[in-house]
Amino acid sequence: MGTLRVNDRAAAIISCHRMTELHSIVDAFRPSGARIAVWVPSWLWPWEGVSSLPFFRDVGQGAGMTQQDRAVPSGMDKQGKPLLRALRGEAVWPPPVWLMRQAGRYLPEFRAMREQADFITRCMTPDIAVELTLQPIRRYGMDGAILFSDILILPWAMGQDLRFEEGRGPVMTPIRSESDLARLDEGRMMEAVAPVREALRRLRVELPEETTLLGFAGSPFTVACYMVEGGSSRDFAHIRAMMQKNPALFDRLMESLTRNTAEMLCGQIEAGAEAVMLFDSWGGILPPEAFRRHVIEPTRQIVAHIRARHPDVPLIGFPRLGGVMVAEYAGKTGINALALDTVADMAKVAEMVPETVTLQGNLDPMILLNGGEALKAEARRIRDSLRGRPHVFNLGHGVIKTTPPEHVATLVETIRDIQS
């Protein structure tokens, strides 16, 4: 079947032909009460394109083991969680890495579970959400595990109709009038998202202790775009019209979303999220003054609300397509980390924002899709350009669904190979 070696610190190095055999071998050590770190060679791993990265299983309660006894993934040290350290302003080398949409359709194990339930059911069933969140951690040993969920869970939890259609994406009953807005029920929101908090609680137990658990939400303007348009849009004509023709209604919608986003994120933190991220996918469509009012100011309010209750929890802001406004966003919102899209020059932005602000990003997902030496070269270039300042390696947008899994393995290896 394979070989097994156990040292006096109860770390097992296992080679096996099937994951079922691996699990049974590790479970045999349950009486020892140890935490087992398992390395599976790439040529034996059951999924294609996965390198020899660590797979963790908790065995018992880990009684008698010290922090120094616990094996850590390649590229990590023993001074604390690398991602949390970076988000708190430390220049960690090599930089921690996680990817937006790292739990996604590019993974065969994700596609297998996708057939079992519709999207909202997957988000709102803790067993499924936990498993989908853990899949890229098992494969790649990512430094961050972002909860499997969606930014539109918030309006759904407030009572707006929502479904996801293949080839179309989210479809919602649009909010375009006073009566539409009145149908939303803020009072039911926290109860409706209770399964999300349960998933976070379980993840804190199941994740490797070196992995940071991330919660998230959509920023108010971006969520409002979907709510008013009734889904995705090419021109956002309806929300632009509301902003101009019925600004009072738009402001009430934004106030509700700002308030409920802050409360939902606090709930995620209280359930176990160690850092949270705000995704503002569409703020970049706004001119500068509107960007200040409808992106920067709501984000500042959310950050202030969270920081008053959870002062030590880092917040990541992602003002996608923000262009020249990203420096002002970083300076005025109070975020700890600024995530950048693919068009941003990371080194230039680093000169524009305070050194206390961590930068996150920003490899082009198309480069990851295509792989090869170009992937390695661009990953090294981005990584090395920010050496000496706080940086979290990520993409400038989510993993594309046709990305070969082995390309993600190559990316993680490249970032962590400090000799390259």
User: Among residues 122, 138, 143, 150, which one is catalytic?
Assistant: 150
Q: Which residues contact 81 (CB under 8 A, 6 or more apart)?
A: 143, 209, 210, 211, 212, 274
Retrieve residue 403's tokens: 């990305």
Amino acid at 210: E
CB 206 within 8 A of CB 134: yes
Is 101 an active-site residue?
yes
User: Among residues 57, 70, 85, 101, which one is catalytic?
Assistant: 101
> Within 220-362, where are the H helices?
220-229, 237-245, 247-271, 288-291, 297-309, 326-333, 346-352
SS3 204: helix
> Half-sphere exposure (CA, 13 Å, Cβ side) for 209?
17
Tokens 């067993």 belong to 127
CB 363 within 8 A of CB 378: yes
Distance CA 93, CA 110 (A): 31
User: Among residues 9, 105, 293, 300, which one is catalytic?
Assistant: 105
Cα 91 → chain centroid:
20
Q: Binding site residues, as ranges?
A: 101-105, 150, 226, 281, 397
Distance CA 12, CA 399 (A): 32
Q: Binding site residues for substrate, as ranges?
A: 101-105, 150, 226, 281, 397
Is 226 an active-site residue?
yes
User: Among residues 226, 280, 320, 364, which one is catalytic?
Assistant: 226
DSSP 8-state code for residue 286: S
Retrieve residue 214's tokens: 């991330």
Distance CA 418, CA 52 (A): 17
User: Among residues 114, 201, 292, 380, which one is catalytic?
Assistant: 114
> What is the secondary structure of 39-91 as a DSSP string?
E--GGG-SSTT--S-EEEEE-TT-TT--GGGS---TT--SSS-HHHHHHTT--
Q: Which residues contact 82 (CB under 8 A, 6 or more apart)?
A: 75, 76, 92, 96, 143, 210, 212
Is 105 an active-site residue?
yes
Distance CA 401, CA 140 (A): 17
User: Looking at 155-211, which runs of residues are DSSP E strands?
Assistant: 162-165, 169-172
Is 150 an active-site residue?
yes
Count the Cβ atoms, other than its own, within 10 Å of residue 164: 16
Cα 274 → chain centroid:
12
Give the residue numbers annotated as catalytic, written as ranges: 101, 105, 114, 150, 226
